[in-house]
A and B are shown apart, each in its own frame.
Chain A
Amino acid sequence: MTALRWKIARRDGIAAVGLGTAAALSVATLSSPRLAHALGEGLSESVQGVKTVAAMLAERSPGARPEGALASLKHKRQAALHERALPKVRGPSPTEYEALAGPPPSSPLAPPPQAPLYTTLAGGPPVPVPTTVPPGTPGGGGPPVLSDIPPPGGGGGGGFAPPPIITTAAPEVPQTPATPVPEPATWAMMILGFALIGRTLRRRPVAIET
């Protein structure tokens, strides 16, 4: 009976010694960085021994850069600069416009003098201007028409003089060109709009970070 008790006690003692050694070793490892480093170095040798240096570098790399990354960026930037440097679009010169529109009206009561619509003959009906075709030209023979459409050809010419082709002068209506500089009213409206936006932004409550 005594021998059995002694055996059990001895087994307990061995287990306790093992446990205590493990606990003390772990405490010592945590408390000593050098011991931890020595252990960790051994562990890392065994774990990471198979990883090559190239694999280590590849793991930390963000990857290769796509081809031509700079080229696309720079081209965009250059294009933007080029657009900004474009000259302003201007209308016709004022002298030409004044020549077309005529002098401004002198008094509001008097009716403004009508600018001549037709450069050739003002006021009257359009007068056909005969255009002579040299005689002997083949293809003539159609009836005389008062239009811009050329007359239909009438067979092979018989040697007689063809009728004259009559055209009318097309009326020219002067187009008022859009001014590139905004009018004062437009300027005023834009400035008013900016002022309104600014006032709205100023009155908006500011979020305070807490």
Chain B
Amino acid sequence: MRGGVIALSASVLAAGAAALAFNMWKPEAQAAVARTPAPAPVIGRNRVFLSKAQLAQAIATGTLDRPVKSMLAVKEPLQFGDYSWDDRGVPAGPTWIRVDLKSQLMSVFRGPHEIGTAVIVYGGDNKQTPSGKLHVLGKARDHRSSLYDAQMPFTLRLTDDGVSIHASTVRWGAATHGCIGVPLPFAERLFAASKIGDEVVIVGGLARKTA
């Protein structure tokens, strides 16, 4: 019996020391080996890392058009006006935006990791949002539309005829004149994260006329 107690306490001590050593030793080892200026931060926990089979399936079905490593883990369906943003620990990389009109969702990626998602509003039946691979042509923080006489903060212009991503009231049944509306806080983050030339892939609508 005495032997059991001694063994228990010894093993607890040993395991605790091992965990402590793991915590203390790993960053030093990384810094020593990698010699990077900033140690690789921990990627947020609320994301799902895709397996190779998942990625292959997504590319084969056209859901994704490039390799993606992780998606944000959204626990429940987003309501209108909801968004999720988590870029903690995501390394720098090219920002690209995926817009799905049918599911009314936008996903913002930095490199192979998704950093934000939100419910969107898009063009109505008579003013449809174009689909295809577009690019951010211009940015305007405090844009006011002269055509519709409306404030459009954090505008990312996509086409020459004015189709843009901008902050808007995202509510059920609403639609735009072709623009993509996102919630204001999300638009602010997206505006800060993107730059001119970034790619925007819009799926689920009519193909854009190239003529």
Number of interface residues, chain A, beta carbon within 8 A: 50
Measured CA separation A21–B11 after assembly (Å): 6
* Interfacial residues of chain A within 58-76, with CB under 8 A of chain B in the complex: 58-71, 73-74
* Contact flag A16-B119 (CB < 8 Å), given A61-B78, A68-B125, A71-B126: no
> Using Cβ atoms and an 8 Å threshold, which residues of chain B touch A63?
103-104
Q: B48–A44 contact, CB under 8 A?
A: yes
Contact partner, A54, options B55, B63, B79, Cβ 8 Å: B63
Encode A19-62 as 1/0 by CB contact (under 8 A) with B: 11101110110011111110011001100110111101111111
* Contact flag A24-B15 (CB < 8 Å), given A33-B45, A61-B104, A74-B124: yes
Q: A61–B105 contact, CB under 8 A?
A: yes
CB-based nearest A residue for B105: A61
Q: B49–A41 contact, CB under 8 A?
A: yes
Q: A20–B15 contact, CB under 8 A?
A: yes
Q: B77–A69 contact, CB under 8 A?
A: no
Measured CA separation A57–B43 after assembly (Å): 20
Measured CA separation A64–B8 after assembly (Å): 59
Measured CA separation A37–B19 after assembly (Å): 15
Q: A24–B42 contact, CB under 8 A?
A: no
Q: A35–B22 contact, CB under 8 A?
A: yes
Closest 9 CB pairs of A and B: A24-B15, A70-B124, A28-B19, A70-B175, A12-B4, A16-B8, A20-B11, A61-B103, A53-B58
Residues in chain A within 8 A of chain B (CB atoms): 9-10, 12-13, 15-17, 19-21, 23-25, 27-28, 31-37, 40-41, 44-45, 48-49, 51-54, 56-71, 73-74
**What are 16 A-B contacts with C-beta separation under 8 Å?**
A9-B4, A12-B1, A15-B4, A16-B5, A34-B42, A45-B49, A51-B48, A53-B63, A57-B100, A57-B105, A60-B105, A61-B78, A65-B122, A70-B123, A70-B125, A70-B176
